[in-house]
Chains A and B, each alone.
Chain A
Amino acid sequence: MAGTALPRRLSWQLGRVVELVDETARTKSIVLDVPDWQGHRAGQHVDIRLTAEDGYQAERSYSIGSAPEDPHLVLTVERLDDGEVSPYLTDVLMPGDELELRGPIGGYFVWEESLGGPLLLIAGGSGVAPFRAMLRHWSAAHSSVPTRLLYSSRSLDDLIYRKELLDGVYDGVEVRIALTRHWPDDWQGHRGRIDGQLLQKVAWTPSERPLVYICGPTGFVEAAAQSLVGEGHDPRRVRTERFGPTGT
C-alpha cells in the first residue's frame, strides 16, 4: 500500500455550471467549467461547499465522473430525499450558477493506464461515477488493458450513463449489467443481485491477478469484496469505496 505524495494545498475554488444532464429520475451530472482546475486522476473526488444567505455552510464529497483528459469536470449526483446538499444540486442548481469546490482528493481509489490490469470495475447504483472517469481515461489513453465493468442497478430506468454504456461507447470494454428489481422480458443481462457465481464468471481467475475496484453502498461492497477474497483473490488488489445512502 505504498502511496504517492500529493503535496500541494487544496484551495477552495469556483466552478461554473455549464450544463446539467439528467441521468435518471433522481440522478444528474453536473458539468462544470473550473478555470483553475489543476487536473486529477480517474477515481478521485472533490469536496463541494454550499453557503446559505445566513452564512450556514454544508460540505459533501462527490466522485469525479470525467476523465483527466476531458475538457470539463463532471460530478454525478444522486438525490437523497432526506439529504441537504444533493437535493440542492439536483433540483435547484442551474446552468450559469457558481459552485464552490476543492480537490482532487484521494489517491488510492484511482486507476490510470500505468497500473495495468486486467481491470475489473464493480459498481452498485451511483457507485458507477468514478468508473466512468476510469473508462473515459481508458478510452482517451487508447488502453489495451483488458477491462470489464459489472454494474448492478435496480432497473434500466435507474441505470446511470445508460446510453453510453449500452451503446458500446467504450469499445473493447466488456460491460455487464445486473438488474436487481425490474427487467424487460427480453433482458439478456443478469437478473438479480450480483452473486458469487456471476462474480466467478466475470472476475478472471485469482492467478490472472485482476486489479479490482468496487464502489457502491456498504452492503454491496462488503458482499462483493468478501466473495472475491473468498475465491482466492489477493485482498491487496481489491480497492473499495463506499458511499450512497447510509440509512438511519
Chain B
Amino acid sequence: MSPISRGFTRRRQSTADTTRVPPGQYVTGDFPVLSAGPTPHTPPDQWSLRIDGQVDEPVSWTWEEFLALPSETPTVDIHCVTKWSKLATTWKGVSLDVLLEYVQTEAEYLTAWSDGGYTTNLALEDVTDGRAWVAYEFAGEQLESEHGGPARLLVPHLYFWKSAKWVRGLTLTPNDEPGFWETYGYHNHGDPWLEQRYQGD
C-alpha cells in the first residue's frame, strides 16, 4: 500500500481512453527518443535484413526485396518503460508471420539485433499471429533514423525497448538469451499491462 503523497493531485486531465493506458503510464502526444548510443545512419542501399540461427537455411532481403514483400498498416498503442504511452500510432511494415514463413525452425525464441550493437530477446509466440512487424513507415512517412529508420521492429504489446530500432537481423535460438536492456536489469518479458519493467516485477 503506497502512502499518500501530501498535497499531490492529478494534474493531467487525459482525454484518452484510460482503459488503453497501462498502469504507471501517461499519454503523450509527441514521440520521445531514447537510445543508448549515437544514431546509426545506414543508407538503404547498404541495408539488409537477415534471419539466421536455428533455421534450415538463413535468408536475407535487400531493401528493395524487403519493400516488395506484402505489407500491412497496423494502428497500435505503444508503451515505453520510461512511462510514456502513445495511442493510435500508424505504421507500415512486414509482419513477422510473413518473414518467418521463409525459414523452417524449431526455435522458440529469437534475438533481434541492430546497427549499433543493440539486441533484444523475444519469444516466438510473442511475435507471431499478427503481433509484430518490421516497420519502415511511421504516420505515412519514411521512418526517421532517430526513431529507428530505415526499419525497426514493432512489437506493440510489449514495452517499446523490445521494438528494436535499426533492426538488421533476427537470430532464432533454442534458448531465451537476454538482450541489451534485459541484461541491465530490465524485465525479460516486458508486458506493460503487468508492469513488467524491471527484473522481478
Contacts and interface: CB of A to CB of B under 8 A. Distances in A.
A14 B34 contact: no
B43 interface: no
Contacts, number: 130
B8 A92 contact: yes
A5 interface: yes
Interface in A201-248: 218, 222, 225-226, 228-229, 235-236, 238-240, 242, 246-248
A51 B3 contact: yes
A228 B24 CA distance: 36
B30 A98 contact: no
A57 B12 CA distance: 11
Nearest to B35: A240
B117 A61 contact: no
Contacts of B140: none
Interface residues of A, number: 54
A155 B149 CA distance: 35
Interface of B: 2-12, 23-24, 26, 28-30, 32-40, 82-84, 116-119, 146, 180, 183-185, 197-201
A240 B36 contact: yes
B37 A239 contact: yes
Interface of A: 1-10, 12, 14, 47, 49-54, 56-61, 83-84, 87-88, 92, 97-100, 105-109, 218, 222, 225-226, 228-229, 235-236, 238-240, 242, 246-248
B38 A51 contact: no
Contact of B117 (A1, A98, A100, A105): A1
B83 A51 contact: no
B17 to A, nearest CB: 17
B3 A52 contact: no
Contacts of A222: 33, 39, 146
B26 A58 contact: yes
B3 A84 contact: no
A8 B200 contact: yes
Given A51-B3, A52-B5, A228 B38 contact: yes
B38 A235 contact: yes
B78 to A, nearest CB: 14
A240 B37 contact: yes
Contact of B185 (A1, A97, A106, A247): A106
Given A88-B7, A222-B39, A61 B83 contact: yes
A179 to B, nearest CB: 25
